[in-house]
Amino acid sequence: MKIQADVGTIDILGHLILWFFITLITFGIGAFFFAYSFSKFIINRSELIDDQGISRRMVCNTDIFGNLGHVVLWIIISIITFGLGYAFYFYKVWNYSLNNTTIG
């Protein structure tokens, strides 16, 4: 089995530009929601290919605002640690997103 992602360069550029402006408009708060959007962006464009070559789409069942308490907690941690906590937050979001992914 292998996982194959089909993420185009134009898709990436559009996603980055969108979230850059969201982060600017929200004075940085949007960066905490970007982590959820980023993981969902990659996972939803990926598929699991089994040994027979049959591919199955991966579907991330998270939403940006579904875990608002988690976001608020990590904003506080990131402020207390002068931004260093954000690196840990990004990993935890990926962990959460992968745990809420189904193979369709």
Residue pLDDT, tens place only, 48-70: 999 999 999 999 998 767 778 88
Identify the pLDDT of residue 64. Answer: 67
Residues 81 and 32 sit within 8 Å (Cβ to Cβ): no
What is the reported pTM? Answer: 0.85
Please give the average per-residue pLDDT across 83-103, as a whole number. 92
What is the C-alpha to C-alpha distance for residues 104 and 78, in angstroms, rounded to an integer? Answer: 35
How many domains does the structure of the chain reveal? 1
Tell me what percent of the residues of the chain surpass a pLDDT of 70. Answer: 99
Average pLDDT of every residue of the chain: 92
Question: Which domain, by its residues, includes 45?
Answer: 2-103
What tokens does 15 get?
A: 């996603």
